[in-house]
Chains A and B, each alone.
Chain A
Amino acid sequence: MSRPSYARPGMGGDSVVVCRDLRRRFGDRVGVDGVGFEIARGETYGLLGPNGAGKTTTISMLCGLLAPDEGEVIVAGRPITPSSTDAKRAIGLVPQDIALYPDLTARENLRFFGRLQGLGKARLAARMGEVLELVGLADRADDRVEHYSGGMKRRCNIAAGLLHEPELLVLDEPTVGVDPQSRNAILESIEELGRSGLSVLYTTHYMEEAERLCDRVGILDEGRLVAEGTRRELIAHVGHQAGLRVSGTGDLHALAAEFPGAVVRDGAVDLLVDDTGRRLAEVVGAAERVHVVITGIDTSEPDLEAVFLHLTGKALRD
């Protein structure tokens, strides 16, 4: 079966999303603080940040679910607010939750959401076939969603967001809680959508996903966009630093405290260093002082994880 095409006329130069200075508070807590970015047509843009960084709040404002206290969102040339109606047709939202009725089949769910998007009977039937094929659920379309595996539910969730051929697909952490195989299938589907010319906004706290899928990435921390750019541009923030990962037994937190910006993660201390040789000696000396027995040392080229660490002093999955 042929894949649907999402290519749009004029793709390339103009922006499908413009967010300007978005701010939103929840009582005393700042949810989003001055976030602004643009997404070009056909571009896959990632919002990378740990849980609570403001990713979901940002896309809730972008999709018109939440009114910003300040700032504006323009999608496909039209402002988006909670009271927007037609303008929202440009957006296909794939929420972090499996936003489907578990007691209905995939086909019934898609029919429901497609009708709400205003799709006519013939077009809806055609589109249901296309999206079910795209996410690999065509042969299970008449099964109830509650009988699906976690990965299948996620794929059906994506299908519901694609049904009405949006100009922008917004995916909020679509691989949370799925097994590696299903996760790979989901990422492949999104890569295919990106190749077909669909504009995608992808939020994640998985550095590898952002690196694999996104043309550009915005790094969010505590409601602020702390950096933005292509992978190469972001890694340039780190300079010549390399990642150093020290595994050992003993008080790793005490060892991490010896080096500004170092964090303890997964039974090891992660830090960024300019001069690997000199720093290694310092690490060994510090380990002796705090009675940590080093069991392994790895060095790595900087990645987005290192960029996040460099910019915020925290690990992505703190």
Chain B
Amino acid sequence: MIARNELLRVYRDRTALFFILVLPVVIMVIIGSTFFGEAGDLPIGVIDRDQSELSARIERLVDDSPALATRRYTDLDALELDVRTGRVDAGLVIAPGAERVELITDPIRRSTGTVRTVVRGVLAGEGARLGAARLASDLTGTDLDANLLTADALGAEQTTIDVPVMATGTPAEDDVNQFSYTAPANLVLFVFVNSLAIAASIVQARQLGVLNRIRAGPLRTSTILVGFGLSRVLFSIVQSLLLLSVGALVFGVDFGDPVGVALLVLAFSLLCAGAGLLVGSVARNGDQAQAIGIPVAIALGMLGGAMWPLEIVGPTMRGIGHAVPHAWAMDAWVELVFEGGSARTVLGEVGILLAFAAVLLLIGSRLLHRRLSAI
């Protein structure tokens, strides 16, 4: 009854519903599209200072790359300005003689590494062709242009070496997309954030005297605590299921083994309930519960890989990240979504989450019990 009543109260709160359902989906879309979008249409400015057949060929290669969108420049200052202001992600300058190509980038821009990799890949073949033709000319004294044509012909005839990629373990899922990371990451982030945010309702029940009125009835204090804890677990499960449904149905995310997903959601929901009880028992008022709870939840999400993959941070931060439960939850989600893992392969992470949950539930319920006993 306590759990049902708590869920009814959350359902009535339109602001809470916005943060529980709408905001996570919006963030999922924004982050998925921004950080994990498919490569393509990276704007790049090109200046051709050689104006030769070779430089034209390099320009064509860049134009043909599906990852790049080229824009022609004649003025270097204008190109540098556009790189700095973000109108283009990088500038490619083909030096006279076409022997050197300079790439102008803004080192703090997120796309810099991607552009550099794409441009290197595009020009790598051309470098090999030019090197081969130049070597032939040096050795035989023949014309470089003729040797370039020969290199083209030889390149076309050359049998390519197929390099099959062998993966260990279960093959990765084929239908991974740009939301495959952000969907579970936002689930982890927002289910935890909201569990701490709605801890304010426990504080409110305390302050209003509702908890004391309940205690004056025929229920044991332990039963009351279980009621409030259960409401938090149910709430987190419901929110998780909604976000999983949106992820699967709207964004086409395959979350993997349903049993593994169920275990993970249950373990994480218990953890959230424990954290909610803890904040609900230590906060002096509802505002304080939210003021403490939400920033803490976001910080834990950052540390634990719920905002960006821990693979992109250094080993030290990765180690620190695993001091918080979010990292273990994200490890399990990555295992399920990207590695084709099963309930069995995420048992370790689920066990750690359950251990975190047990500690938080124990401390939270004890503190709340003590608060209530002190009147």
Contact = CB atoms under 8 A, between A and B. Distances in A.
Interface of A: 57, 60, 63-67, 82-83, 85-86, 88-89, 91, 93, 95-104, 108, 112-113, 115-118, 160
A290 B218 CA distance: 60
27 contacts: A57-B375, A63-B216, A65-B212, A65-B216, A65-B375, A66-B375, A67-B373, A82-B373, A83-B220, A83-B221, A85-B218, A86-B218, A88-B216, A88-B217, A89-B218, A93-B212, A96-B209, A97-B208, A99-B208, A99-B209, A100-B210, A103-B13, A104-B8, A108-B8, A115-B1, A116-B1, A116-B219
A103 B11 CA distance: 11
A283 to B, nearest CB: 44
Contacts of B214: 113, 116
Interface string B213-248: 111111111000000000000000000000000000
A95 to B, nearest CB: 5
Interface SS majority for chain B:
helix
A104 B373 contact: no
A118 B1 CA distance: 10
A99 B8 CA distance: 17
B345 interface: no
B142 interface: no
Contacts of B373: 66-67, 82
A58 B213 CA distance: 16
A95 B209 contact: yes
B9 interface: yes
B218 A101 contact: no
A43 to B, nearest CB: 21
Contacts of B219: 85, 116
A39 B205 CA distance: 31
Contacts of A65: 212, 215-216, 375
A85 to B, nearest CB: 5
The 4 closest A-B pairs by CB, nearest first: A97-B209, A99-B209, A99-B213, A93-B216
Contacts of B375: 57, 60, 65-66
Contacts of A117: 217-218
Given A93-B216, A98-B208, A99-B208, A82 B221 contact: yes
A29 B9 CA distance: 39
B8 A91 contact: no
B110 interface: no
Interface of B: 1-2, 5, 8-9, 12-13, 205, 208-210, 212-221, 373, 375
Nearest to A67: B373
B208 A91 contact: no
Given A93-B212, A117-B217, A117-B218, 5 more contacts: A82-B215, A93-B216, A98-B209, A99-B208, A116-B2
B7 to A, nearest CB: 12
A95 B212 contact: yes
A160 B213 contact: yes
B212 to A, nearest CB: 6
A160 B217 CA distance: 11
Contact of A113 (B8, B212, B217, B220): B217
A87 B5 CA distance: 25
Nearest to B13: A103
A109 to B, nearest CB: 9
Given A88-B216, A116-B1, A104 B209 contact: no
Given A60-B375, A99-B208, A100-B208, A113 B213 contact: yes
Nearest to A172: B209
A116 to B, nearest CB: 5
Contact of B12 (A88, A104, A112): A104
A164 to B, nearest CB: 8
Contacts of A82: 215, 221, 373
Nearest to A85: B218
